[in-house]
Amino acid sequence: MPNTKNYHWRIAGFYFFYYAFIGMFAPYWSLYLQSIHFDAIEISILLSIQPVMRMLAPGIWGWLADHTGKRLLVVQVAAALSAMFYLGVFATTSFWGLFIVLALMAFFWSASMPLVEATTLTYLGKNTAHYGRIRSWGSIGFIVSVVGLGFAFDYVAIAWLLWAGLVCEIGILIFSRQIPKTEVLAHHTDSQSIRQIVMQPRVLALFGACFLMSVAHGPYYTFFSIYLVEHGYAKSAVGGLWALGVICEIGVFFVMPSLVRRFGFTRILLISFSAAILRFLLIGWTVDIVVLLLFAQVLHALTFGAYHAASVGLVHEFFQGRHQSKGQALFGSLTYGAGGMLGGLASGPIWQHWGASALYTFSALMALLGLLLVARRLASLK
């Protein structure tokens, strides 16, 4: 029987390649699409496919995993089909061709992470505050991908991006077969329906606030790289700026146990939403002031790192027993999925008609609404 350390590295390996794929996709896919002559609206639509599937697919996969009790088999099948459909990006550069390929790939790719999150938190048991230390390997994968590709694209064509994505898909597939099995313990909420849990005021408040945070980040993931390049930043600098944020995120993941003990998940969310307001205003209005742009990227430690660990931790507290996979899947669907889709789709028209400053002011406004929801609803509920 493998020991706990081996389990740690097996889960960490999956996180590494999964987020390395995001490090390939989020900063550079828009540049690839721009290189094959898509306009802002087409780019925003194609980049919104992934959050659309993160909205639709995880609920299906989460229900299947909890219903069959074969969580890891679902992860493995989804990883294999995701890698297979990804191969389609080599076969087409048409809008509708890529639309279909990305939709099929994302439908299966989006299945894995909520189930792996549930597995990781079950594996940690009462030590869920240490989630960030395993999750940090995803951040390391993101950094390796975003920095390496950033420097590479100063010398090679952006089309090489497709091969980097294939490497990440293969890594996800390999480590999906290494994740250890975990036992789902019975809980007193097992007799409740998933709807009863979701309709609790504290759960609705959390999901609503996190939906708004994902809307706020939609413009960042869709147009940040194009925005920087248009303001004269080299692609290596673009990669460096993305990586800076994730390096700071890793630091937060490692100190999350002490932060949770001192502040609790809800206070961490209040700080994270406040930081997001400032960050997006800085991006929108001070892109040419390097020191302020660097500070904005440092704030990623709070707007994603601390935010993600706190929100996932709360979801794990709210959804126990047989509802673990469905809870994480619903969270991913309604926040990163639906919120990311809305933020991404809104990005194209705002960018095209009113410009980048208006776009990132919109992001700041969404973060403000999320902050008010956390402060007035989640923080006040016991």
**Domain presence at residue 189:** no
Distance of CA 348 to CAs 26, 44, 279, Å? 15, 5, 20
Q: How confident is the model at residue 323 (pLDDT cuts 50, 70, 90)?
A: low
**Domain presence at residue 303:** yes
Residue 302's domain comprises 4-178+194-378
Q: At what angle do helices 131-152 and 95-124 cross, to 10 degrees?
A: 150
Predicted local distance difference test score (pLDDT) of residue 236: 84
Q: State the greatest distance between any 2 C-alpha atoms of the chain, in Å, as a whole number.
A: 59
Predicted local distance difference test score (pLDDT) of residue 3: 41
**Domain presence at residue 188:** no
Report the distance separating Cα 289 and Cα 284, nearest Å.
Answer: 11
**Domain presence at residue 184:** no
Is pLDDT above 90 for 365?
yes
Report the distance separating Cα 332 and Cα 115, nearest Å.
Answer: 10
Predicted local distance difference test score (pLDDT) of residue 322: 67
Predicted local distance difference test score (pLDDT) of residue 118: 76
What mean pLDDT comes out for the span 107-120?
82
**Domain presence at residue 186:** no
**Domain presence at residue 129:** yes
Q: What is the pLDDT of residues 171-218, one digit of tens each?
A: 999 998 888 776 655 544 555 677 888 888 999 999 999 999 999 999
Return all residues near 375 (Cβ < 8 A) that are at least 6 apart. Answer: 270
Q: Which residue from 329, 49, 47 is spatially nearest to 207, judged by alpha carbons?
A: 329
**Domain presence at residue 288:** yes
pTM of the model: 0.77
Copy the structure tokens of residue 351: 């960018």
CATH of the domain at 335: 1.20.1250.20
Q: What is the pLDDT of residues 340-364, one digit of tens each?
A: 889 988 998 999 899 999 999 999 9
Please tell me the least confidently modeled range out of 16-25, 201-210, 212-221, 328-337.
328-337
Phi and psi for 120 in degrees, rounded to 5?
Answer: -60, -45
Q: What is the pLDDT of residues 117-154, one digit of tens each?
A: 777 877 776 666 677 788 889 889 988 998 889 888 88
Predicted local distance difference test score (pLDDT) of residue 318: 85
Is pLDDT above 70 for 48?
yes
Report the distance separating Cα 290 and Cα 227, nearest Å.
Answer: 14
Q: What total number of domains does the chain contain?
A: 1
Predicted local distance difference test score (pLDDT) of residue 2: 40
Greater confidence (350 vs 53) lies with 350
Is pLDDT above 90 for 327?
no
Percentage of the chain with pLDDT > 70? 92
Predicted local distance difference test score (pLDDT) of residue 4: 45
Predicted local distance difference test score (pLDDT) of residue 52: 82
Torsion, Cα of 137, 182, 52, 217 (10° steps):
-40
Place of tokens 């299906």: 60
Q: How confident is the model at residue 334 (pLDDT cuts 50, 70, 90)?
A: confident
**Domain presence at residue 187:** no
Return all residues near 358 (Cβ < 8 A) that are at least 6 apart. Answer: 284, 350
Predicted local distance difference test score (pLDDT) of residue 133: 80
Greater confidence (122 vs 158) lies with 158
